[in-house]
Amino acid sequence: MKDTTTKKINSEYDDTINIVSSHAADNPDAMPAFNDILHSLEYSPSTCTGYVTLSSNREWFDRFVDFFTGRKTLPLLYDPFFKMIFNPVESRARLSELVSCILGQHVTVIEVFPNTNYTFPNSFVIMDMVVRLDNGSITNIEIQKVPYDFPAERISCYSADLVLRQFRMLKGMEPENTDHGSSSSGKPSYSGMKKVHTIIFFEKSSSSLKSPVNKKAYFHVGKTTFNTGINISLLQEYHLISLDTFKKYRYSDIMDGRIDIDSTDCDDSQYDSGLTKKMKLDRLKYLSLFTAATPGEINRLVTLFPELSSIRSQIREYLTRPGEVLNMFSEALRILDRNTAELMADRYKSQLKDVQKELEAAKLENKAAKQETATAKLETATIKAQADARIAELEAQLNQLKKQQ
């Protein structure tokens, strides 16, 4: 069975495989002799399953091949690749720098929590990376590839989960409990609660993320305020980044070397201390990195932001590890398929509820119509009975008059 499957795969992708070598020669962003490596991946026990899985999706297989031929860079927005570049252990400083420029305050990531959903089991709320910072606050970094329905409701759930997780930590209900904020009586002290930040990168933004004030706005900061101006600082803060809007209105300027900061890049009024120039440039640096699709774009960004050279070197290093990259692509595809299936199921449930509501409304209308019909029949019978009685009365009077004649 495997021989039949792989022969079919080879036949389908022969054209793609045959052009690999011509693009790889003397290219630091490509792997020489990848043609032979690709065939070895097909039969290796550690990669054959991933190879078949990836080959079932032409777009993803081509993207995998394109990386090794130097035509595409790694898709850094997908979980396996994002966590490779921003590994919280090996690249803690880099991850801290990313979080700092998003939050607008210098922070250090000191702990990464297990990727487990405590508050909403078996729900659609899935967190990509949840970290605790040196100031005690908790931050969720989420990357959404699909514009989910009901984004406001989902984001509220993400943030609520962070608040409750922190409360449980203070209360001693979770294994990652620390001494932060606990009172001597063992009861949690609310004074120990810190900010929770929800950071979400949207590759494709829903209509709700399009600013009616400025169509070029791509960085959205949300905090709770009161209409009377009272100064109560609630815990939840939101940082939503529309990468498609950034790509449409800002990315080409940056690639042309225009990296001067303007009001679209940063609204200083949203930050207590204001962002430093470095934080503002770090924002442009990382958002551009997430947007870049080719090695040529990465190379251009390195000339603008030299500190990205370490990331470029790390990406190039994976050209020598095709088996690992294959499994990372397969895992990314699995996550995408799962999220797509959950999205479709979620939409189906929503449509089912709509149909059920329409059915109930139709039943109520039908019942009301029957009641109206019954009432009309009763009214008709009453009128007929009254008419019959009047006719009988008149006929009796007529007969009486005839007798008197």
Helix extents (H) in 73-113: 79-85, 92-103
Per residue in 99-155, pLDDT tens?
999 999 999 999 888 765 544 443 333 347 889 999 989 999 988 876 666 678 888
Question: Which residue, of 45, 68, 91, is where some domain finishes?
Answer: 68
Q: What distance in Å separates the CA atoms of residue 383 and residue 389, rounded to the nearest whole number?
A: 10
Mean of pLDDT values over 266-282 = 86
pLDDT digits 0-9 by tens, 292-305: 999 999 999 999 99
| pLDDT above 90 coverage of the chain, percent | 38
- Residue 144 DSSP SS3: strand
Tokens linked to 33: 């002799």
Choose the final residue of a domain: 279, 302, 320: 320
Average pLDDT score over residue span 376-389 = 84
Number of domains, the chain: 2
154 and 262 belong to one structural domain = yes
Distance in Å from the first CA to the final CA of the chain: 113
Q: Which domain holds residue 28?
A: 2-68
Strands annotated E in 145-217: 196-202
pLDDT score for 147: 67
Please check whether residues 144 and 163 belong to one and the same domain.
yes
61 and 103 in a single domain? The answer is no
Confidence at 266, pLDDT banded by 50, 70, 90: confident
Q: What is the pLDDT of residue 148?
A: 66
